[in-house]
Amino acid sequence: MHPVSDYPELNYGVVRALALSLDARDPLTRHHSDRVARYTIALGIRLGCDKEPGRLENLIAAAFLHDVGIIGVPDGVIQKEGGFLAHEMQLMREHAVIGERLLHGAGMPLQAKWVRHHHERVDGQGYPDGLVGEAIPFESRLIAVVEALEAMTAARYDRPRTGSALDELESHKGTQFDPDITDALLDLIVSQELDDIAYDSTMTELIKESRLNDPEWVLSRSAARRRRLSSVMDVEVVDVATEP
């Protein structure tokens, strides 16, 4: 068992401030973060993260703030209506490194590391460092697959379908996603346990309180301006009013 010092007590005020900042900057990303954090709870428990003191709470915080680096992406990219150019997509991908820096500065080194690597792929084709397999932190691998599921199933994303979310997760298992973590997530989905986990903590209460924008407003806004997935790991913004 890890000693408690491996998973330190969180500064919940800092977590809340960062979440409110993200909500003020981009409510769509903040709404996405809610669901990623909720799915992370169920998957983290399934994989035993609740067995070590403080581990699950630290993991939930990282999932909740995994896209906090969006705060540092230029307005011209975040607010753009239309597809991203190559250099704009690169700026969007910088959010992982920006998030790491923000979290380090906020005194959250564990979350900083996990957030930096949440877009790595187990086959080494991810970013920002091209890590392979178990060189990617476990928590980053978990957040990666949960984030992809949320993006695949969210109403505010527009993407061509080649199969169900289950099919897509299965098809990317062992290349983009960790196979064992993906299998655990698939089991939760099939058993309908992903949204049915009884778990309350300071983080779960904080998630509910860290919103400036009403979720209904966020969803109504996304009906006019959606984000299209160019893959299961990247998005581009499209103005659906101009779509054929």
Query: Could you report the per-residue pLDDT of 125-180, keeping only the tens digit for each?
Result: 999 999 999 999 999 999 999 999 998 887 555 555 556 888 989 999 999 999 99
Tokens of 57: 């709470």
Note the pTM of the prediction, 2 decimals. Answer: 0.87
Q: Check pLDDT > 80 for residue 227.
A: no
Residues whose CB is less than 8 angstroms from the CB of residue 38 and which lie 6 or more positions away in sequence, other chains included: 195, 207
Amino acid identity of 101?
R
